[in-house]
Amino acid sequence: MNSSLYICKVMHNRLSPKKHSFWYNVYMFYLDLDEIAQLSGKLKWFSFNKFNLFNFRNKDHLQLPKDNPDAIKSVREQLTEYLMAHNIVLGLGRVMLLTNLSVLGYNFNPVSFYFCFDEAGQPLCAVVEISNTFHEMKMFFIGKDELDKDAFRQRADKYFYVSPFIDLDTSFDFNLHIPAEKLDIRIDDYDKEGNRFFLSTLIGESKTLNDRNLLRYFFLIPLIPLRVMWLIHWQAFLLWRKKFSFHKKSANQILQKDVYKPYKPQTK
């Protein structure tokens, strides 16, 4: 499948300790990492590491810890190194990334998904890149042995500060269908007793990635990254109004493990 975009519906549903649900419309980009520079030259409203309506920036994604923090490698280079740590040799294989782009210079990605294929085009693995509002990041690797037909499935301990209204030591349950004409991705949360208490669904339909559609959806659903950030804070306010238990970012640091780009509070 070539690079494209998806018109999506995001749905969140909390089952306990109190019910709370909402949904909203978004669009996401499904990009072949080897086509980024080519797309930048082909599309008027899309750029690679340069300001535009839409901009793919290396710094917005996986950046492995390194001695020189200013040495930003390409996302594919970073991912190749990350996969080697999981005994995966990508070689000339293909990587498709489902993500948001920077819009007018601003970006926030609650979650991005890497779908990796070997040189014969067969599914190799998936990597989930989750970010919080402190711009911290955590990666979750899902190998080929966890591929069930066309979906990568895994239950993984979270140990990451995503929401102040969810404990850090809960589990993510990933169910990631490989994107095709339709998009179907589900990430549910389970508590320490093994009870599912939070459901999240991302469903969508593929559209052609061209200048017409870029401009169309830019105006139909404007400023997507800023809108997503605003919705996160608005829903947090509603949860606070419902008196959900609140966990401060500074609490339980021992339960925040394997975090990339760790947040450093400014000191006076």
Distances (CA, A) of 1 to 112, 126, 131, 180: 18, 16, 26, 7
Asked, for residue 233, whether it belongs to a domain, the answer is yes
The 10 Å Cβ neighbour count of residue 199 is: 16
Question: Which pLDDT score, from 0 to 100, does residue 73 have?
Answer: 83
Q: Which residues pair with 143 in a beta bridge?
A: 125
Asked, for residue 9, whether it belongs to a domain, the answer is yes
Q: Name the E strands within 49-146.
A: 54-56, 94-99, 102-103, 111-117, 123-131, 137-143
Q: Are 179 and 117 in contact, with CB atoms under 8 Å apart?
A: no
Question: Which pLDDT score, from 0 to 100, does residue 71 have?
Answer: 63
Asked, for residue 64, whether it belongs to a domain, the answer is yes
* Pairing status of strand 171-177 against strand 151-157: antiparallel
Asked, for residue 129, whether it belongs to a domain, the answer is yes
Positions in the chain short of pLDDT 50: none
In whole angstroms, give the CA distance from residue 22 to residue 219: 23
Asked, for residue 202, whether it belongs to a domain, the answer is yes
Asked, for residue 112, whether it belongs to a domain, the answer is yes
Question: Which pLDDT score, from 0 to 100, does residue 67 have?
Answer: 52
Task: Say what the pTM is.
Answer: 0.94
Asked, for residue 240, whether it belongs to a domain, the answer is yes
Asked, for residue 19, whether it belongs to a domain, the answer is yes
Closest C-alpha to 107, from 38, 161, 69, 59: 59
Domain limits for position 115: 4-255
Tell me the longest C-alpha to C-alpha distance in the chain: 55
Please state the domain count of the chain: 1
Question: Which pLDDT score, from 0 to 100, does residue 250 have?
Answer: 86
